[in-house]
Amino acid sequence: MRIRKVPETHIEGFKELSIQGETYEYLSPKYVYLPMQFPSPLKELKSVGDKVLMGEAVLQREGRFAIPVLSPVSGTIKGVVKRWHQSNKMMNMLEIENDYKDTVIDDFKNLNPDKMDRHELVELMKTSGMVGMGGAGFPTYAKYETDKPVDQVIINFAECEPYITSDYTMVKLNPGLFIYGLKYLMKAAGTSKGVIAIKNKDINKPIIESLNKHLLDGMSIYLLHDVYPAGWEKYIVEKVTGKTYKMLPIEAGAIVSNATTCVTFAKLLKYGLPPSEKYVTFVGDSLKSNGNVLCKFGTNVTELLNLFGGLEENTDRSHTNFIAGGVMTGGAMFTEDFVTSATLGAVIVLRDKLYDRVTPHCLGCGTCALHCPVHLSPYEIKRAMKTGNIEMVKELEVNKCIQCGLCSYVCPSRIDLTTSIQMAKELVRRMG
Amino acid sequence: MEKFLVSKGPYLRSADENKRTTSKIMLDVCIALLPVILLTIYKNVIKVFISGTYTSVYQALYPLLLIIIGPIFSILLELLCLFIIHKEEINNFKDLINIEKTEFGGLPGLFFVLTCPPYTPLWIVLIGIAVGEVVGKMLFGGFGQNIFNPALVGRAFIAFTFSNYLGASYLSPLEASIDAYAGATPLTFYSKLDIANITYDNMVSPYGGLLNFFLGMTPGALGETSALAILIGGIYLAIKRVIDYRIPLVYIGVVFITTFFIGLKVDGGIWYPTYMILSGGLFFGAFFMATEPVTSPKTPLARVIFAAFLGVLTVLFRIIGNMPEGVATAIVTMNIFGLAINQYVIKLRISGKLEKRFIPGMVVMIVLFITLFTYTIVFALN
Domains of chain A by residue range: 107-271, 367-431
Q: Which of A318, A364, A412 shows the shortest C-beta gap to B5? A: A318
Indicate the residue of A358, A380, A416 with minimum beta-carbon distance to B101.
A358
Does the ipTM surpass 0.90?
no
Q: Name the residue in chain B with its Cα closest to that of A411.
A: B15
Nearest to A408 among B13, B297, B355 (CB): B13
- Co-location of B157 and B199 in the same domain: no
Q: A181 vs A184, B102, B115, B248, CA distance in Å?
A: 5, 54, 69, 56
Residue B273 has pLDDT above 60, yes or no: yes
Of all residues in chain B, the percent with pLDDT exceeding 70 is 90
Is residue A404 within 8 A of residue A229, CB to CB? The reply is yes
Buried b (16+ CB within 10 A) or exposed e, B49-62: eeeebbeeeeebbb
Of A332, A364, A412, which has the smallest distance from its Cβ to B7's Cβ? A332
Q: What is the mean pLDDT of chain A?
A: 91
At B90 the pLDDT is 81
Among candidates A317, A355, A397 on the partner chain, residue whose Cβ is nearest the Cβ of B3? A317
- In this structure, what is the dihedral angle of CA atoms B272, B278, B282, B283, given to the nearest 10 degrees? 140
Q: What is the pLDDT of residue B182?
A: 54
N-term to C-term CA, chain B: 84
Name the minimum distance, in Å, from the CA of B111 to any CA of chain A. 17
A43-44: strand order across its sheet: A43-44, A57-61, A67-70
**Beta partners for A294?**
A25, A279
Test the B interface: residue of A365, A376, A408, A428 with most B CBs within 10 Å: A365
Give A375-388 pLDDT, tens digit per residue.
Answer: 999 999 998 988 88
Helices (H), A203-243: 205-214, 233-241
Chain B contacts of A416, Cβ < 8 Å? 8
Residue of A nearest to B100 (CA): A360
Q: What is the DSSP string of B310-353?
A: HHHHHHIIIIIS--S-HHHHHHHHHHHHHHHHHHHHHHHHHHT-
What whole-number distance in Å separates Cα of residue A64 and Cα of residue A248? 16
Q: How far is A416 from chain B (nearest CA, A)?
A: 7
How many CA within 13 A on the CB side of residue B74? Answer: 30
Question: Residue B170 domain-assigned?
Answer: no
The pLDDT tens digits for A393-431 are 888 889 999 999 999 999 998 888 999 999 999 999 888
CB atoms within 10 A of CB A50: 14
Q: Give yes or no: residues B93 and B217 share one domain.
A: no
Identify which of A353, A363, A375 has the shortest CB distance to residue B144.
A363
pLDDT given at position B167: 73
How large is the average pLDDT for residues B65-80? Answer: 93
Tell me how far apart the alpha carbons of residues A424 and A417 are, in angstroms, rounded to a whole number: 10
In terms of pLDDT, which residue wins out, A282 or B341? Answer: A282
User: What is the residue-averaged pLDDT of chain B?
Assistant: 84
Question: Which residue, A369, A119, A130, A148, is CA-closest to A243?
Answer: A148
Claim to verify: residue B158 and residue B197 sit in the same structural domain: no
Taking Cα atoms as reference points, which of A296, A282, A257 lies closest to residue A171? A257
Q: H/E element holding A321? A: strand A320-324
Of A361, A369, A412, the CB nearest to B298: A369
Kindly state whether residues B282 and B161 are assigned to the same domain: no
Which residues of chain B neighbour A405 with C-beta distances below 8 Å?
A: 9-10
Strand order in the sheet with A152-157: A219-224, A194-199, A152-157, A254-258
A95 phi and psi, to 5 degrees?
Answer: -100, 120
Residue B18 pLDDT: 66
Does the pLDDT at position A23 exceed 70? Answer: yes
Share of chain A above pLDDT 70, in %: 99
Range from A106-120, A307-321, B24-38, B345-359 carrying the lowest mean pLDDT:
B345-359
For the cut 70, the answer to whether the pLDDT of residue B359 exceeds it is: no
Query: Which of the four pLDDT bands, split at 50, 70 and 90, describes residue B338?
Result: confident
Same domain, B97 and B158: yes
Same domain, B196 and B125: no
Say how many CA atoms lie within 13 Å of B188 toward its Cβ: 21
Question: Is residue B21 less than 8 Å (CB to CB) from chain A?
Answer: yes
Helix (H, G, I), strand (E, B) or coil at A119: helix
Instruction: Determine, yes or no, domain membership for B10.
Output: no
A-to-B residue pairs, Cβ atoms closer than 8 angstroms: 166
A31-80 pLDDT per residue, tens: 999 999 887 889 999 989 999 999 999 999 988 889 999 999 999 999 99
Domain A107-271 has CATH 3.40.50.11540: yes
- Residues B221, B308 share a domain: yes
Answer yes or no: are the C-beta atoms of A335 and A350 closer than 8 Å.
Answer: no
Q: Which of residues 94-113 of B touch A (CB under 8 A)?
A: 98, 101-104
Return the residue of B nearest to A88 by Cα: B6
Whether B357 shows a pLDDT value over 70: the answer reads no
- B340 has a chain A CB within 8 A of its CB: no
> Predicted confidence band at B276 (pLDDT cuts at 50, 70, 90)?
confident
What pLDDT was estimated at residue B211? Answer: 87
CA distance B260 to B269: 8
Number of domains in chain B: 2
Residues of chain A contacting residue B351, judged by C-beta atoms under 8 Å apart: 397
Cα separation, B81 vs B71, in Å, equals: 15
CB contact under 8 A, A348 and B346: no
Amino acid identity, position B325:
E
Query: What CA–CA distance (Å, rounded) separates B250 from B322?
Result: 23
Which helix H or strand E contains A1, and what residues bound it?
A: none
Q: Is pLDDT of A185 > 90? A: yes
| Minimum Cα–Cα distance from A2: chain B residue | B352
Q: Closest partner residue to B11 among A323, A396, A397, by Cβ?
A: A323
pLDDT of residue B365: 74
* Distance from C-alpha of A299 to C-alpha of A322, rounded to nearest angstrom: 17
Residue A12 to residue B17, Cβ atoms within 8 A: yes
Backbone angles phi, psi at B89, to 5 degrees: -85, -15
Contact present, A76 and A97 (Cβ < 8 Å): yes
Average confidence (pLDDT) over A329-354 = 90
- Which residue in A has a C-alpha nearest to residue B95's C-alpha? A358
Interval B126-146 mean pLDDT: 90
The mean per-residue pLDDT over the stretch B348-358 comes to: 73
Residues of B in contact with A329 (CB under 8 A): 9-10
Dmax (CA) for chain B in angstroms is 87
CA distances from A410 to A309, A336, A369, B114 (A): 33, 29, 10, 32
**HSE-up of residue A241 (Cα within 13 Å, Cβ side):** 28
> Nearest C-alpha of chain B: how many angstroms from A188?
35
> pLDDT value at position B113?
94
Q: What pLDDT does B181 receive?
A: 62
Chain B residues in contact with A6 by the CB 8 A cut-off are none
Asked if A335 and B4 come within 8 Å (Cβ–Cβ), the reply is yes
Range of the domain at B268: 191-381
CB contacts of A418 in chain B (<8 Å) are 8-10
Q: Which residues of B touch A376 (CB under 8 A)?
A: 350
Residue B198 sits in the same domain as residue B336: yes
Contact between chains at B7 and A321 (C-beta distance less than 8 A): yes
Has residue B3 been placed in a domain? no
CB pair distance less than 8 Å for A318 and B349: no
User: Do B358 and B344 touch, CB atoms closer than 8 A?
Assistant: no
| B:316-335 residues touching chain A, CB 8 A cutoff | none
